[in-house]
Amino acid sequence: MTTKLFGTKVPRVEDQRFLRGQGRYVDDLLTDDPRLLHAAVLRSPHAHARITDIDVSGVLDLDGVVAVWTFDDLTGPMAEPLPLLIPHPALTHGRTQYALAKDEVNYVGEAIAFVVAVDRYVAEDAVARIRVDYEQLEPVVGIAAARAAARLVHDDVPGNVGARMEQENGDARAAIADAPHTLTLELDVERSACTPMEGRGTVARWDPDTSRLTVWSSTQTSTGVRGCVAAKLGLDLAKVDVITPDVGGGFGVKINHPWPEELLVPLAAMTLGRPVKFTEDRREHFISSAHERAQVHHVEVGFDDDGRVLGLNVEFWHDHGAYTPYGLIVPIITSTQLLGPYKPQNYRVVFESLYTNTVIVTPYRGAGRPQGCFVMERTMDAIAAYLGKDRTEVRSTNFIQPDEFPYEHGLVFQDGRPLTYDSGDYPASLAKLKELVGWDEFEDFRAEMAAQGRRVGIGLACYVEGTGVGPYEGAHVHVETSGKVKVATGLTTQGQGHQTAFAQIVADTLGVRFEDVEITTGDTRKMPYAVGTFASRAAVMSGSAIHLAALRAREKALRIAAEALEAAEDDLEIVDGVVSVKGTDASIDLGTVAVLSNPLRYAFDEASKAATQFSVGDPGKAPVAEDDEPGLEGKDFYSPERSTFANGMHAVIVETDPDTAEITILKYAVVHDCGHLINPMIVEGQIHGGVAQGVGGALYERMAYDESGQLLNASFMDFLMPYVTEVPTTIDIDHLETPSPLNPLGIKGAGEAGVIPSAAVFAAAIEDAEGFPITAMPISPSELFDLRLAHADNSFAG
């Protein structure tokens, strides 16, 4: 019997290629094609302005410029606004931009004109020559300005409110009114962004001989892009292929589609009859892709003497930027996932999703959960502080207990399904975390540090993450006559190690060698039905689909092999690609089974000779039986009833410098439960990356917009993504494996976990070190210094 690969730390087979610089990203494609053209985009320098004239006359006579488009050059569906991808009844005033601005621009960075030239240098020279006359309008920047609504982003959206949504389970306000204790909190989270190493990018080639369009895009959904391109360019879907090459990170921003360039590049390629490439640069990524996270929250909570929450009423305001292509996903997730592992007896949540003259907001790793976690965990800490109780005790009091699953919250989740947790063991997770971080020994450590004049604090934060959101993913498993196994699944890969993790599943399920399995993702030619990679769903959705498809291939292999070996299927096993009768020498290679599965008319090699219709099968029967298909293949789809809910808890010990207010991480501990682990090394890698991104979001990164709507830090010089020197050198991780009952492998998603509790856990630890409330994140040393001054003044006044 071969060793089971599922659950083992198989090294990522991708890394050899990536680490040696042999990845092939969009910008690497077609570089040897002398006909390749390059695009650059004129972007709005103003946050809010009317366009009164665009003069491109100085452009086309520039040597090397091939074409230029403005809105007036667009026709048909291309002249309509971009799609609103996820409509929602509460999104009463959804607005999307045009591929190229029509009459008005609503954020710095909005696309106005599209230039195609022989290289990107010339294209940028041309962009600089386009003259646009603007009539400047007053911009709306920040949530306060959006709420005040003294000015409107869109004239036809009153109050700048795109959506208002309310959900309630029980009667939260009445429960709070009746509660023995109540607290009110105001909690802010600022904007950040995904900032993948590779920005956006698209290449398109139109083949006039076959009337076929091929688009390569750095996307998290090739099927989504394909649908949009076909619809917008008026092409039959069958004429469009979208392929996702290696993608240098996504973290959410590449799930939004179609970007203007994702349509303009194919349009230009078709119009010009030459391949066209757009590679986004870093400044463009900052000002014309997407951001997330900015929300302001007002919390009222009522609780009893034990800290048990009796009623929770949360109102929040979500800054969604200038347009709403991705609907209300982020605030809906905040409003539902805020609850974490707790069961407030009565819960009401209301949010307004607001327009501002800033870059659009779409999900960024965590997608509204970091804000929700911040709100809930800050509330738990406030209750503990008020009652003078240990923070872990208050949490324990409010946990959903292991025997309460499935647990229904009485709310509707982002997928339109009831918010129902499938499994988890929160008390066990908390016990592990306390042990891992040394919670009970911390006061000794604090005293020891204090004796040296050092100031330390500890915090913890718990979260539950809905993962593996539907509607479905599919997989196709094909055993070739060589015995090699080719697997296709439609969702895309941005570095998660899908080749490794999915091949582990196939190797185990089908009984083949790991090395013989090749996984293709994100290629609509191989798998035209797919959704995409987001919401920590790839392992759950495609992993399950691949498992099911491999089972089908296995069933077929056993059926054919049983016939060939004249044995009962139950007596067969498949190990390392060989089917054998258990306990005997009788065996047949899977490749040979594949030969037998496909009766041929023509012989072209040794294997095919063995498969001609004259050498296989019963001459009295049809070569392919009525209910059968040729080939050793399996295809299946996985479509769960609802999401599966992973959970975790983080704790951090920080040191705050009494003099400089610098914040140093001394220890970071994670307990993580994503059900069965396919590959613990990959899961831990995801946690490490998430924690690193979370450190950025909590202590370093912010989008520094000024009041005129200019983004002041649109570069990696001033947008402080943490370096390796700012990230904890070790992250202590412990796993709990509470399987999901919703899928055959018992797995849950893990991709976003590491980032969700960061703002909450750092706020808690800094608060614990400093002794005054931390209510806004991120926090810099300069801000901590200001808070110290403010609280010192208060104490004098008091």
Partner 1 sequence: MKPAPFAFLRPATLEEALAALAGEPGAKVLAGGQSLVPLLSMRLAAPSMLIDINALPDLGHVTPDATGVRVGALARHAHVLASAEAAEVQPLLALALSHVAHPTIRNRGTTVGSLVHADAAAEMPMVLRLLEGSVDVESVRGRRTVPAGELFAGPLESTLAHDEIAVEAFFPALPAGAGVAFQEIARRHGDYALVGVAALVETDGGEVTRARLGYVSVSDVPVVVDVTDALDDPAAAALAELEPADDIHATAAYRAHLVKVLTPRVLADAVHHARQRSAQKDEKDMA
Given 2, 713, 746, 773, the residue binding partner 1 (CB under 8 A): 713
Count of residues binding partner 1 (CB under 8 A)? 30
Q: Quick one: which of 186, 662, 707, 793 contacts partner 1 (CB under 8 A)?
A: 662
CA distances from 422 to 134, 400, 470, 536, 644 (A): 54, 12, 15, 16, 6
User: Nearest distance from residue 131's CB to partner 1, in Å?
Assistant: 17
Report the nearest approach of partner 1 to the CB of residue 741 (Å): 45
Q: Which stretch binds partner 1 (CB under 8 A): 106-114, 119-127, 385-393, 737-745?
A: 119-127
365 neighbors 534 (Cβ within 8 angstroms): no
In the list 154, 283, 417, 486, the residue contacting partner 1 (rule: CB under 8 A) is 283
**Closest CB 126 distance from partner 1, rounded Å:** 11
Q: CA torsion 389→394→395→399, rounded to 10°?
A: 160
Residue closer to partner 1, measured from CB, 281 or 444: 281
Name residue 667's beta-bridge partners: 653
Q: Which of 168, 726, 734, 737 binds partner 1 (CB under 8 A)?
A: 726
Min CB(786)–partner 1 separation in Å: 7
Answer yes or no whether residue 725 interacts with partner 1 by CB under 8 A. yes
Indicate whether 773 belongs to the interface with partner 1 (CB under 8 A): no
**Smallest separation, CB 713 to partner 1 (Å):** 6
CB of 204 within 8 A of CB of 266?
A: yes
Q: From CA 146, how far away is CA 705, in angstroms rounded?
A: 14
Residue 772 within binding range of partner 1, rule CB under 8 A:
no
The phi-psi region of residue 366 (left if phi > 0; otherwise alpha if psi is between -120 and 50; otherwise beta) is: left
Q: Is 781 a binder of partner 1 (CB under 8 A)?
A: yes
- Does the protein bind partner 1 through residue 729 (CB under 8 A)? no
Segment interacting with partner 1 (CB under 8 A) among 83-91, 521-529, 635-643, 785-793: 785-793
What is the secondary structure of 708-747 as a DSSP string? TS-BTT-STTTS----GGGS-S--EEEE-----TTSTT-B
The answer to the question of residue 790 lying near partner 1 (CB under 8 A) is: no
- Residue 452 binds partner 1 (CB under 8 A): no
- Closest separation between CB of residue 723 and partner 1, Å? 5
Q: Using the rule CB under 8 A, which residue among 184, 612, 660, 794 binds partner 1? A: 660
Mark the segment that binds partner 1 (CB under 8 A) among 206-214, 248-256, 276-284, 605-613.
Answer: 276-284
Helix H or strand E encompassing 270: helix 260-272
Instruction: Give the nearer residue to partner 1 in terms of CB position, either 27 or 352.
Output: 27
Interacting residue with partner 1 among 183, 412, 720, 776 (CB under 8 A) = 720
C-alpha–C-alpha distance, residues 639 and 223, integer Å: 17
Q: Does 712 bind partner 1 (CB under 8 A)?
A: yes
- Contact between 700 and partner 1 per CB under 8 A: yes
Tokens encoding 619: 């001459």
Q: What is the CB neighbour count within 10 angstroms for residue 567? A: 18
Of 123 and 163, which has the nearer Cβ to partner 1? Answer: 123
Residue 786 binds partner 1 (CB under 8 A): yes
Q: Which is nearer to partner 1, 233 or 663 (CB)?
A: 663
Backbone dihedral angles phi then psi of residue 4, each to the nearest 5 degrees: -70, 130
Q: Which helix (H) or strand (E) holds 672?
A: strand 663-673
Instruction: Tell me the CA distances in angstroms from 145 to 311, 360, 373, 636, one per residue in order.
Output: 30, 16, 25, 50
Q: Does 718 bind partner 1 (CB under 8 A)?
A: yes
Name which of 8 and 713 has its Cβ closer to partner 1.
Answer: 713
524 three-class SS: coil
Burial string for 710-749 (b: 16+ CB within 10 Å, else e) reads: bbeebeeeebbbbeeeebbeebebebbbbbbebbebbbbb
Comparing CB distances to partner 1, the nearer of 64 and 77 is 64
Largest CA distance in the chain: 101
Binding flag, residue 761, partner 1 (CB under 8 A): no
Q: How does 451-489 read in b/e, with b if 16+ C-beta sit within 10 Å?
A: eeebbbbbbbbbbbbbbbbbebbbbbbbbbbebbbbbbb
Considering only 149-157, 266-274, 325-333, 716-724, which stretch makes contact with partner 1 by CB under 8 A? Answer: 716-724
Residue 652 CB coordination number (10 Å): 30
Instruction: Of 648, 27, 56, 692, give the one whose Cα is nearest residue 377.
Output: 648
Residue 115 C-beta: closest distance to partner 1, Å: 12
**What totals of helices (H) and strands (E) does the chain contain, helices first?**
20, 29
Determine the interface stretch with partner 1 among 122-130, 189-197, 489-497, 616-624 (rule: CB under 8 A). Answer: 122-130
* Stretch of residues binding partner 1 (CB under 8 A), selected from 85-93, 106-114, 392-400, 656-664: 656-664
Instruction: Choose which of 104, 125, 246, 425 interacts with partner 1 (CB under 8 A).
Output: 125
Residue 375's H or E segment, with its range, is helix 369-387
Distance from C-alpha of 220 to C-alpha of 256, rounded to nearest angstrom: 8
Q: Where does this chain touch partner 1 (CB under 8 A) — which range of 1-9, 247-255, 530-538, 775-783?
A: 775-783
Nearer to partner 1, 238 or 717 (CB): 717
**What residues contact residue 632 under an 8 Å CB cut-off, 6+ apart?**
478, 479, 553, 556, 557, 560, 590, 593, 594, 597, 598
Part in contact with partner 1 (CB under 8 A); list of ranges 25-33, 77-85, 479-487, 715-723: 715-723
Cis peptide before 722 (omega within 30 of 0): no
Q: Name the minimum Å distance from CB 140 to partner 1.
A: 20
- CB 320 → partner 1: shortest distance, Å? 23
Nearer to partner 1, 177 or 789 (CB): 789
The least distance separating partner 1 from the CB of residue 45, rounded to whole angstroms, comes to: 13
Closest CA to 70 of 147, 126, 142, 146: 126
Distance separating alpha carbons of residues 403 and 355, to the nearest angstrom: 43
Q: Is 455 in the site for partner 1 (CB under 8 A)?
A: no
Smallest gap from Cβ 774 to partner 1, in A, equals 17
List the one residue from 240, 376, 517, 661 that touches partner 1 (CB under 8 A).
Answer: 661
Does residue 659 interact with partner 1 by CB under 8 A? yes
- 723 scored as a contact of partner 1 (CB under 8 A): yes
723: which residues sit within 8 A by CB, 6+ positions away?
none
Q: Shortest approach of partner 1 to residue 684 CB, angstroms? A: 24
Residue from 147, 239, 282, 389 binding partner 1 (CB under 8 A): 282
Q: Are 309 and 301 in contact (CB under 8 A)?
A: yes
Q: Parallel, antiparallel, or unpaired for β 111-117 and 347-354? A: unpaired
In the window 312-331, what residues touch partner 1 (CB under 8 A)? none
**Distance (Å, whole) CA 433 – CA 460:** 9
**Please, what is the minimum distance in Å from the beta carbon of residue 251 to partner 1?**
20
Q: How far apart are the first and last CA of the chain?
A: 74
Among 93, 102, 120, 486, binds partner 1 (CB under 8 A): 120
Q: Which stretch binds partner 1 (CB under 8 A): 12-20, 438-446, 496-504, 779-787?
A: 779-787
Assess 573 for contact with partner 1 (CB under 8 A). Answer: no
Q: Nearest distance from residue 720's CB to partner 1, in Å?
A: 5
CB of 756 to partner 1, least distance (A): 23
CA dist 66 → 40, 62, 78, 264, 265 (Å) = 12, 9, 20, 14, 13
* Chain residues that interact with partner 1, rule: CB under 8 A: 120-121, 124-125, 128, 281-283, 659-662, 700, 704, 712-713, 715, 717-718, 720, 722-723, 725-726, 780-782, 785-786, 789
